[in-house]
Amino acid sequence: MTKDDVAGCFEYYADLAEGLDAKQKAPVSLPMETFKSYVLKESLGVVALITPWNYPLLLATWKVAPALAAGCTAILKPSELASVTCLELADVCREVGLPPGVLNILTGLGTEAGAPLASHPHVDKVAFTGSNATGSRIMASAAQMVKPVSMELGGKSPIIVFEDVDLDKAAEWTLFGCFWTNGQICSATSRLLVHYDKTLKFIATAKSEGATILSGGNRPKHLNKGFFVEPTIITDVTTSMQIWREEVFGPVLCVKTFSNEDEAIELANDTHYGLGAAVISNDPERCDRVAKAFRSGIVWVNCSQPCFCQAPWGGIKRSGFGRDLGEWGLENYLSVKQVTQYISDEPWGWYQPPSKL
Ligand SMILES: NC(=O)C1=CN([C@@H]2O[C@H](COP(=O)(O)OP(=O)(O)OC[C@H]3O[C@@H](n4cnc5c(N)ncnc54)[C@H](O)[C@@H]3O)[C@@H](O)[C@H]2O)C=CC1
Ligand code: BAL
Q: What is the pTM of this model?
A: 0.91
Q: Is the pLDDT of residue 203 over 60?
A: no
Q: How remote is the CA of residue 349 from the centroid of ligand 2, in Å? A: 59
Decide whether any atom of ligand 2 lies within 6 Å of the 60 Cβ: no
The residue whose CA has the least distance to atom 4 of ligand 2 is: 185
Torsion over CA: 314, 315, 318, 319 (sign) = negative
Strands 149-152, 320-321: pairing is antiparallel
The ipTM (two decimal places) reads 0.92
260, pLDDT greater than 70: yes
Q: Where residue 201 falls among pLDDT bands split at 50, 70, 90? A: low
Q: What are 16-44's pLDDT values in tens digits?
A: 999 998 999 999 999 999 999 999 999 99
Which three-class secondary structure state does DSSP give residue 235?
coil
303-332 tens-digit pLDDT: 999 999 999 999 999 999 999 999 999 999
Residue nearest to atom 3 of ligand 1 (CA): 152
Q: Which residues are catalytic?
A: 152
Q: How far from 15 is each of 9, 46, 186, CA to CA, in Å?
A: 10, 22, 28
Mean pLDDT for 8-17 is 97
- Helix or strand holding residue 149 (H, E): strand 149-152
- Alpha carbon distance 81, 313 (integer Å): 24
Which residues make Cβ contacts (< 8 Å) with residue 265, sequence separation at least 6?
160, 290, 293, 294
